[in-house]
Structures are given as C-alpha cells and as structure tokens.
C-alpha cells in the first residue's frame, strides 16, 4: 500500500484583480477582487489549490484576516495526512471559531489532493456524476432602474437563460426597478432577486414581494436582516415568492436550525460561508433529507473557486440553481483549466482528476510559505 500523502509545504497568495465595473449590492459596492489563494504540496508529489473571497459585511473576513489565520492553519497542518479531510477540518475548527472563508480555501485544496489521489474528478469523489446540465444566472447590479433594465436586456441578448437582480434599496424604488427590467426583457425570461438583507423588517419585505409577484420571479434571497431569522417562517408562509436563506444560513448548525423552524423552502450554499466542501456537503445532505432546494453560489471567487462550487452542485440532487457568474466580471482571468462558460451560461466541467484548475503564477503575490 502506498504511503499516505503528507503535507510538506503550504503557500498563501494574494489575488487582486479589478472588476470591469463596480458590482453594487445593498451592503455596498465592490470594485475589485481581493482574494486569497492556498497551495498545498505533499510528499507524494500531489498538490492542491484553494481560493477564498472574504466578504467583510457577510463573513467578517478580509484578505488580511485570511492571511493571518491562514498562517496558523499552514503551520498546524504541516506534517498531517492530506487525505484526512475530516480530521484536518476539525483541527481548523478547533484552532479558531468562524473564519469560514479562509477555512474553505484550505478545505478546497485538500479535496483537490484527495480527488487526484483517487484518480477521480472532484464531483465523482464527492459522490456525484456529470449527469445534469449546470447553467449559471447573470446578475444585474443594484443601481438606477434605467441602467438595471439595460443590463438585463444585454444579458438576455447574450443568451443567459435566467437573470438575477440585486435589490434591497428603498421598497418603492425596488418595485420600480423590477418593473423597468420586466418591461425591457419581456414576460418570459425567468428572474431571481436578492435583497442581501436590505429590507428592514418582515412587513416591509412582504409588501415588496407581494408587489413583485406578477413579475415571474423564481425566488428571493435573504429579504430581511439575518438576525431576524425567527421571522422567516411567517414571512415565507405569506410570501407569493419562495424565500431562499443566504446570510442566515452559513454553517451546518444554521441549516439544522432553519430546518427545525421550517423557515423557508430554499437555501443558498456557498463554500466561503460554510467553511468548505466538507461542511457544505453536510448542509446538502440535511437539505435533501428535509426537502429543501439548494442554490450553489459564491462571493467574488475566480473560476477556480467557482469550479469547486460547481463540483459540489453535481454531487447533490438537492441543487436546482447555480450562481457562478462573478468570474465574468473580472478584467482578467487568472485561472488555468477549470470550468468553462459555454453558450447560454452553460457550465462545462473539467474531467481531469481533482479540482481540474490551477492559478497562473503571474497573477499571484506570495505572502507566506512554510
């Protein structure tokens, strides 16, 4: 029997890339990608890549905090069996609470190594098959109604089969924005909306959702502040649009709590919220058992991080929606391999063992190595 691949080196990198234009949500504008990449090498010659996109207003992390905590993880995991994913994730969880973003990058790199060792694409290693089409939506940034309508029309003309719209401003303005968008694109193209906690309370959210019901909306993500999660069951029962938990559903514990409350019919799973594929798979299992539908999305990851999310999407029958569009907003693509964007937002997956993606060295600034 071959010896287990032991972690012999870990490197942390900055990834800093401007966006084509500011991406605006109710929590504020994003003008550039400031991500952290992790590269883990082993005694068996296998190495794995991971990436995280810290989001201060959602998971309380920045690139600086991720690099600081990443140093702790790099030292702690040095000499460990790279295939012991559960043990290594538990070690990170014991070392420090929360910090789910940087944990997800290490988790991703470990899964990359383990799937390579098994000779399987990551989705197969996770128990899935490449047997269902994955189509990403394309997101309209929050802004003036005229610009949002023009952006939606452009995405429709580019062939995307579903459009996601960022809301969470003044309720009357949000209603007017959606009216302008629906008028621009016609009655048939499906829409999704994401308030990012922007409506202040459940009565306000219900008013907006009732007004938007005629616009053919598939679901609404996180309509109210995350700390009002106990109000989600009543809001969800009254809403004509299905509610999807996002910022209020980060960890497996959050999923368990919302399922017990019968809070809503849909969850949005992101590796940077859950702490990585190990915990995200736990959430997916809970959701499948409870009849909860899933969307797999992300923050501002490149195609590398989003490729990991797509592997997860193929591994769970509960996943019905994909939100992988942020790499299309980058001014440059730093990834070699990974999934490719096909016509109409179709995601074309790599079939090589492991994650199937790596970073081009010219985009990375090394910060730490052990």
Give the containing element (helix H, strand E) for 19: strand 7-25
The owner of tokens 């991080």 is: 305
Q: Is 361 exposed, middle or buried (0-12, 13-18, 19+ CB in 10 A)?
A: exposed
Q: Which sequence positions are flagged as catalytic?
A: 166, 194, 221, 246, 270
In this structure, the number of other CB atoms found within 10 A of the CB of residue 48 comes to: 26
Q: Do 67 and 12 touch, CB atoms closer than 8 A?
A: yes
Cα–Cα distances in angstroms (integers) from residue 364 to residues 260, 332, 360, in the given order: 43, 13, 7
Tokens of 238: 């009254």
Question: What is the rounded CA–CA span in Å between residue 249 and residue 323?
Answer: 16
Looking at residue 222, the DSSP 8-state letter turns out to be -
Q: Which position has the token pair 């009254």?
A: 238
Residues 6+ apart with CB under 8 A from 300: 23, 30, 33, 35, 53, 55, 326, 329
């Amino acid at each position: 029997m071959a010896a287990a691949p032991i972690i012999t080196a870990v490197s942390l990198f900055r990834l800093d890339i401007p966006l084509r234009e500011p991406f605006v949500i109710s929590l504020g504008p994003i003008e550039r990608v400031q991500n952290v990449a992790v590269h883990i090498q082993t005694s068996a010659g296998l190495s794995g890549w991971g990436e995280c996109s810290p989001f201060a207003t959602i998971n309380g992390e920045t690139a600086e905090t991720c690099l600081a905590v990443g140093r702790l993880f790099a030292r702690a995991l040095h000499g460990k069996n790279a295939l012991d994913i559960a043990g290594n994730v538990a070690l990170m969880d014991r070392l420090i609470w929360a910090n789910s973003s940087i944990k997800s990058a290490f988790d991703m790199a470990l899964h990359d190594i383990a799937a390579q060792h098994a000779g399987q694409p990551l989705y197969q290693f996770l128990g899935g098959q490449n047997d269902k089409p994955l189509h990403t939506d394309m997101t309209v940034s929050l802004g003036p109604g005229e610009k949002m309508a023009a952006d939606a029309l452009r995405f429709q003309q580019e062939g995307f089969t579903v459009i996601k719209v960022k809301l969470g401003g003044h309720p009357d303005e949000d209603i007017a924005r959606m009216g302008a968008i629906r008028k621009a694109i016609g009655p048939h193209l499906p829409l999704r909306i994401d308030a990012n906690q922007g409506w202040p309370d459940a009565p306000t959210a219900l008013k907006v959702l009732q007004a938007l019901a005629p616009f053919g909306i598939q679901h609404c993500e996180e309509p109210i502040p995350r700390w009002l999660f106990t109000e989600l069951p009543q809001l969800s029962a009254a809403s004509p649009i299905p509610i999807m938990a996002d910022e209020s559903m980060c960890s497996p514990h959050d999923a368990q709590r919302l399922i017990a409350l019968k809070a809503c019919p849909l969850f949005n799973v992101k590796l940077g919220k859950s702490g990585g594929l190990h915990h995200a798979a736990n959430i997916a299992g809970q959701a499948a058992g409870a009849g909860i539908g899933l969307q797999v999305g992300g923050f501002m990851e490149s195609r590398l991080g989003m490729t990991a999310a797509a592997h997860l999407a193929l591994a769970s029958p509960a996943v019905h929606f994909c939100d992988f569009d942020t790499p299309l907003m980058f001014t440059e693509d730093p990834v070699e391999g990974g999934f490719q964007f096909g016509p109409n937002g179709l995601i074309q997956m790599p079939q090589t063992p492991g994650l199937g993606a790596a970073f081009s060295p010219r985009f990375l600034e090394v910060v730490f190595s052990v």
